[in-house]
Amino acid sequence: MIEIEHLTKRYGETIVVDDVSLRVEEGTIAVVVGTSGAGKSTLLRMINRLVEPSSGRVLIDGRDTLSIPEDELRHRIGYVIQAYGLFPHRTVSQNIATVPRLLGWDRKKIAARVDELLDLFQLDPGEFAGKFPHELSGGQQQRVGVARALAAKPAVLLMDEPFGALDPVIRSKAQDDLLAIQRRLGATIVLVTHDMNEAFHLGDRIAVMDQARLLQYAAPAELLTHPAEPFVEQLTGTAERPFRLLSLTRVKEALEPGDAEGEALVLSTTLHDALARLIALGKDALPVIDASGKAVGRITVERILAHGRLPA
Amino acid sequence: MSSLRPHLSLDRLGSVIAVLIGVALFASPFVVYRANRIVAGEGRMLTAALPPAGALGIILTGIGVALCAALLRNPLPRLAAAILGLATVVPIVGWSATFVTPLGNTFARVSPGLGFWLLALAFALLAADALTRLRLGPWVRLAAIAVAAGAIALLLLSGAWNDLSLLKEYANRADSFWQEARQHVWLAFGSMAASCLVGLPLGILAYRVRRLRAAILQILNIVQTVPSIALFGILIAPLGYLATHVPLAAALGIRGIGAAPAFIALFLYSLLPVVANTITGLNQVPAAVTDAARGMGLSPRQRLWQVELPLALPVILAGIRIALVQNIGLATVAALIGGGGFGTFVFQGIGQTAIDLVLLGTLPTVALSFATAIVFDAIIDLTRRGPT
Amino acid sequence: MSARALTFRAAALILLVAFITAPQLFAFVFKPLTVNDAPAIYNHGSLLALTLSHLRTVFLATLASTVLAVGLGIFVTRPSGSEFLPLSRSLVNIGQTFPPVAVLAIAVPLVGFGEKPTFIALFLYGLLPIFENTLAGLSEVPPQALEAAKGMGMNARQRLLQVELPLALPVILAGIRLSVIIGLGTATIGSTVAAKGLGEVIIAGLQSNNVAFVLQGGLVVALLAVLIHDGMGIAERAVAKRLGRPVDEVA
């Protein structure tokens, strides 16, 4: 768990981060979004003290980060940056082993951990362990960057635009992979991005920043239905808000009893995708089945539209 | 990192300079006096080297500059202080020579001592640091070097330094000095011109024909690796043969020993920077630009003259600058094989352990190569800025 | 490296070693260049001894320059030395307009004849390329790699030893190579100030008008320089490759 309390950073007269407080629960992803220059990266870098706060404090699992020596603190916090910062002179496995080596793990334990991570990120150890970063594709470099950050089993993972350098197709795959790995490891992640879609895709909670201030910190649906300020509404895309809302909601929540003709949808489908299917097929309703294939009810255009309606 | 510091803190570099100035003023002889040209010298501290007013003037100037260096951070006042320091100490060392030399004694020699050199070094370092931080534009730099050259000429013509040993050595050799100077310039710049005539087409050829590129560069690399005197030596044998067996060659002044092998060696040395930079310069012309030129129907020749060469010019000029500075230095060695140039005084001076004679050869060489470097850097900046 | 290039190098090396250990075997080549029955092969000392002392001077001077120049390069790129950085860049530029011979010549009246002035000249002039390349190498380290290193909790020393220096190494080695080559040339001229070295052969030839001496001295020095330059280039590429760098076509 990360608790950020009244964190402020000033450079001379300029305030870069202005009295920000927020709390990231154990095992969740908090996404910080905002325009460039909003103070997102500075906020992130104050968590591992790459930037020293002017005032306020950060607690990790209840402990004030200022009470831990800088380097020791960073050993416990995974850190991924946009260009990954892989060491060009070290192989993939040496890169991943960086923090374990700093911590003085024994060779066997390091080797086992590296193999485990390579497997987890779908990089065949036989093929990739000995490669140098410049021999990898962008997507592979990104995975090595995240694997390296996770190597010493950190309590917290900080990610600064980790998908920024990937092209759109690889990016969404990488996001799905990250989600899967996060669910599996139960890691606590703070991720900075300027991409709203990414924020809605990944965030358990989203923090919106503008001009050094935290405008709103809430669950994605809350952000759409009750934007705290006009800027939040604008950032989430005024026109797209109903559709974003639909993609956050599953068929399960709009299910109604009854039957319908046509190809069945699964309970876990998002309303966004269900509506798309209904429009494409020119139907008003479709049957719904659960994971085992048993019919459980139906979904209608009318109900979906009701779910997309924003409170006045 | 860029947090504002309080204004009156000690500048580290400035403190080092201040310490240098302190050592120079109070712990080193300002001039060295010798009863004649050959005997060992004896140092004269500031107070013994100048009348009280002069010594006091230098001490006060030195302390003032030291304080500026240690306490001020703004480069402009630091530069002003450094220039003031140089303008004080450089002419005064000539006065000191007059003061120390016994009246009517023509054998006595006075040279600048460690103290003078340290002061000059400290002021020059301060000026160099300030100039670096000011990031002057090319025109200002050209003007500055012209002013500096004018000031040095004025100093020498005014006779203020005439009692210094360096100028006494010059007075004894005034004629041969200018003859060797012409020879030095001819060796360095003439061979450079020849190398441009050959190197530019060779570079363009190597750029166009990929297969030739590696071979040409490799050969020139090897030539560049051979130490100067060894290359002179290797050239002497065939040129000597040529001179004795081909009357025309001898008539043209080609001999085994002398300027010919030096000229050819310098020519060969300067080929690598010219060719390599021509290739690099042409290589880094953006593909989009040459594509566009082709798309507009420019012929290969038009592309070369109107697009590629103008865009590659700064890099090519940088190659010429490297080669010229290198040539000016290497031309000194030509004296060893009878090729003349400033090296003549250097090697004579080494033979006679006469440091002033060595300096008579060294200082003009360094000044020439320094001025060349500055002028070329400015020109390169101007061509970079030009049509972009 | 192609087999042809390799045999070429091997042949050059064998030729050089054969000549400096048993020069008389090659007398027939140089005999035609002599007049008045002058000796064809340098006879005032063993070529082998001269070569070794030549190499020793260059090696020791370069070693000393390397230690100091790399140390200085590290110092001015640390926060505590940053005030010296702009000036040191300019000084390297200015220093290189100074001909190496001038440094040698000025050293003689100050410290006398022999190895000393040569060593001083080699040492001082050798600092420049190594210092320049250390600066270049250290400042070319990708900032993201440094940011990541810091973010993973490497302290300043670990960053320097594990990230910065290894990444700068190929560039620093190139500087050392340049320094060695300039040193070989300057040491040759050092023979004019009575340093023991291969320049003696050339100088002796010039003084006694014996073109054979001049040529063999020139050839030995040239071959030595080319082979050392080449050998160090190979070492550099090996290091660069081990560090996972793509290698340029022509260094």
**Subunits with 3+ C-beta pairs closer than 8 A to C:** A, B
Hey, where are the domains in chain C?
46-199
- pLDDT-based confidence at C246, cuts 50/70/90? low
How far off is chain A from B19, nearest CA to CA, in Å? 34
What is the rounded distance in angstroms from the CA atom of residue C99 to the CA atom of residue C106? 11
Q: Following DSSP, what letter does each residue of A13-43 receive, concatenated?
A: TEEEEEEEEEEE-TT-EEEEEESTTSSHHHH
How far off is chain A from C181, nearest CA to CA, in Å? 28
For residue B276, give Cα distances in angstroms to B266, B313, C68, C176: 16, 13, 31, 21
Q: Are C217 and B256 within 8 A, CB to CB? A: no
User: Which of B233, B325, B346 is nearest residue C214 as measured by Cβ atoms?
Assistant: B233
* Closest residue, chain C, to A45 (C-alpha): C151
* Closest residue, chain B, to A14 (C-alpha): B3
Most B CBs within 10 A among A9, A11, A51, hence the mutation to make, goes to: A11
Amino acid at C21: T
Are the C-beta atoms of C2 and C174 separated by less than 8 Å? no
* Closest residue, chain A, to B2 (C-alpha): A11
Q: Which two tokens stand for residue B204?
A: 């363009």
pLDDT at residue A189 greater than cutoff 70: yes
Are the C-beta atoms of B115 and B17 separated by less than 8 Å? no
Q: Following DSSP, what letter does each residue of chain C receive, concatenated?
A: --HHHHHHHHHHHHHHHHHHH-GGGGHHHHGGG-STT--SS--SS-HHHHHHHHHHHHHHHHHHHHHHHHHHHHHHTSGGGGGGHHHHHHHHHHHTTS-HHHHHHHHHHHH-SSHHHHHHHHHHHHHHHHHHHHHHHHHTS-HHHHHHHHHTT--HHHIIIIIIHHHHHHHHHHHHHHHHHHHHHHHHHGGGGT-SSTHHHHHHHHHTT-HHHHHHHHHHHHHHHHHHHHHHHHHHHHHHHHTTPPPPS--
What is the rounded distance in angstroms from the CA atom of residue A137 to the CA atom of residue A118? 15
Hey, where are the domains in chain B?
12-135, 174-385
Give the CATH fold of the B174-385 domain.
Answer: MetI-like fold (1.10.3720)
Q: Which CATH number applies to C46-199: 3.40.50.2000, 1.10.3720.10, 3.40.50.2300, 3.60.9.10?
A: 1.10.3720.10
pLDDT at A248: 86
* Closest residue, chain C, to B359 (C-alpha): C106
Q: Which residues of A touch C144 (CB under 8 A)?
A: 81-85
- Beta strands, E only, B200-309: none
Chain B residues interacting with chain A (CB cutoff of 8 angstroms): 2-4
DSSP character at residue A134: G
pLDDT at A111: 95
Are the C-beta atoms of C107 and C187 separated by less than 8 Å? no
Query: What value does the CA radius of gyration of chain B take, rounded to a whole number of Å?
Result: 25
- pLDDT-based confidence at B1, cuts 50/70/90? very low
pLDDT at residue B387 greater than cutoff 60: no
For residue B179, give Cα distances in angstroms to B182, B194, B232: 5, 22, 22
- State whether residue A285 is helix, strand or coil: strand
CB of B21 less than 8 A from some CB of C: no
Q: Which residues of C touch A73 (CB under 8 A)?
A: 153
For residue C196, give Cα distances in angstroms to A39, A290, B147, B350: 66, 93, 45, 16
Residue B320 CA, distance from chain mean position: 15
pLDDT at residue A217 greater than cutoff 90: yes
Neighbours of A60 (CB within 10 A): 21
**Model ipTM value:** 0.84
- State whether residue A193 is helix, strand or coil: strand
Are the C-beta atoms of C54 and C220 separated by less than 8 Å? no
Residue B271 CA, distance from chain mean position: 20
Contacts of A166 (CB under 8 A, 6+ apart): A138, A139, A142, A174
Q: Which residues of B touch C102 (CB under 8 A)?
A: 329, 332, 346, 362, 365-366
- Residue B37: burial class (beta carbons within 10 Å; 0-12, 13-18, 19+): middle
For residue B364, give Cα distances in angstroms to A64, B23, B342, C169: 66, 28, 8, 37
Are the C-beta atoms of B215 and C5 separated by less than 8 Å? no
- State whether residue A310 is helix, strand or coil: coil
Looking at residues B113-141, what average pLDDT do you find?
A: 91
Looking at residues A244-270, what average pLDDT do you find?
A: 87
3-state helix, strand, coil in chain A (%, to 5): 40, 25, 35
pLDDT at residue B3 greater than cutoff 50: no
**Ranges A138-147, A221-230, C198-207, most confident:** A138-147
pLDDT at residue A93 greater than cutoff 90: yes
How far off is chain C from A45, nearest CA to CA, in Å? 9
Query: What value does the CA radius of gyration of chain A take, rounded to a whole number of Å?
Result: 22
Q: Which domains does chain A have, with CATH numbers?
A: 2-236 (3.40.50.300), 244-308 (3.90.1280.20)
pLDDT at residue B4 greater than cutoff 60: no
Q: Which residues of C touch B13 (CB under 8 A)?
A: 83-84, 87
Give this prediction's pTM. 0.84
**Closest among A88, B271, B206 to C249, alpha carbons compared:** B206
Work out the mean pLDDT of chain C and round it to a whole number.
Answer: 87
CB of C249 less than 8 A from some CB of B: yes
For B17-71, the pLDDT digits (tens) are 999 999 999 999 999 998 887 777 888 998 888 999 989 999 999 999 999 998 8
Q: Are C226 and B225 within 8 A, CB to CB? A: yes
For A24-43, the pLDDT digits (tens) are 999 999 999 988 888 999 99
For C139-194, the pLDDT digits (tens) are 999 999 999 999 999 999 999 999 999 999 999 999 999 999 999 988 998 888 88
Q: Are A11 and B4 within 8 A, CB to CB? A: no
**Phi then psi for B112, rounded to 5 degrees?**
-60, 140
pLDDT at A235: 84
DSSP character at residue B257: S
C-contacting residues in B 217-236 (Cβ below 8 Å): 217-218, 221-222, 225-234, 236
pLDDT at residue C251 greater than cutoff 50: no
* Closest residue, chain A, to B4 (C-alpha): A12
CB of A12 less than 8 A from some CB of B: yes
What is the rounded distance in angstroms from the CA atom of residue C217 to the CA atom of residue C198? 6
Sheet harboring A188-193: ordered strands across? Answer: A77-80, A156-160, A188-193, A29-34, A205-210, A213-218
Angle, alpha carbons B10-B15-B21 (nearest 5°):
145
CB of C149 less than 8 A from some CB of A: yes
Whose tokens are 């559709």? That residue is A243
CB of C153 less than 8 A from some CB of A: yes
